[in-house]
Amino acid sequence: MRRNLITAVLYTVVTTVLFGLIYPLVVTGLAQLLFHDKANGQLLYKNGELVGSRIIGQPFSAPQYFHSRPSAAGNGYDAANSSPSNYGPTNKKLIDRVAGDVTSLQADHQSSDVPVDLVTASGSGLDPDITPAAAEFQVARVARERRLPEDAVRRLVSAHTQKRQLGFLGEPRVNVLLLNMDLDQMGSN
């Protein structure tokens, strides 16, 4: 019995050190060495200042910017609280919020249907992308606010539209932060 207990304790110590310390350090070191940008959250800088991450959404509310999906993560795009709202489709709070968002978005677009991703949060609440339809829905407002031709803004959206991975995985998408950063480069804001 005593020998089994000593073996169990030693096995626990060895596996804890191996898989709880050495393995994570090796994997982290390899990630830093081979995939430095991805291992550090794909952070984006402008003039040496951190502006965001390519893979975590952030809020944009000014009318001259493309807006992201709503976030259910904590106090808006809080990565520490990444989660959906868990409201079901019949939940009164969700229905009221979506209805209010649709009404405010249709103020500029009476004849257009509001793309669903502009009024619903993603599963993580941190989605950095919107659909091409959601970007197209916002082109007129952004162009008007920036005093730019709609065609120029539409071409920028098209340039930022990422296709399906390998031609069949996922959906076409537009990264809002990258689009807005390039929009700032165009001027007139």
Decide which of 186 and 14 is more confident: 14
- Do 151 and 128 share a structural domain? yes
How is residue 90 written in tokens?
């019949």
- Do 32 and 108 share a structural domain? no
Average pLDDT, integer, range 75-94: 74
- Do 83 and 27 share a structural domain? no
Size (the chain), residues: 189
Distance, in Å, from the CA atom of 168 to the CA atom of 88, rounded to the nearest integer, reads: 29
Distance, in Å, from the CA atom of 178 to the CA atom of 135, rounded to the nearest integer, reads: 13
C-beta of residue 83 within 8 angstroms of C-beta of residue 126: no
Distance, in Å, from the CA atom of 37 to the CA atom of 41, rounded to the nearest integer, reads: 7
Give me the DSSP letters along 165-185: BTTTBS--EEEHHHHHHHHHH
* Per-residue pLDDT, 79: 67
- Do 79 and 17 share a structural domain? no
- Do 46 and 124 share a structural domain? yes
How many structural domains does the chain have?
2
- Do 67 and 31 share a structural domain? no
Distance, in Å, from the CA atom of 163 to the CA atom of 148, rounded to the nearest integer, reads: 26
Host domain of residue 32: 2-36
- Do 99 and 152 share a structural domain? yes
Decide which of 4 and 40 is more confident: 4
Is pLDDT of 107 > 90? Answer: no
- Do 132 and 57 share a structural domain? yes
- Do 109 and 30 share a structural domain? no
Q: Is 187 left (phi over 0), alpha (psi -120 to 50) or beta?
A: left
Is pLDDT of 88 > 90? Answer: no
Q: Which residue has the tokens 């430095």?
A: 36
What does the pLDDT look like over 54-67, one tens digit per residue? 888 888 889 999 99
- Do 92 and 28 share a structural domain? no
- Do 86 and 125 share a structural domain? yes
**Residue 77: pLDDT band by 50, 70, 90 thresholds?**
low
Q: Which residue has the tokens 């919020």?
A: 97
Helices and strands (DSSP H and E) totals, the chain = 7, 5
- Do 66 and 12 share a structural domain? no
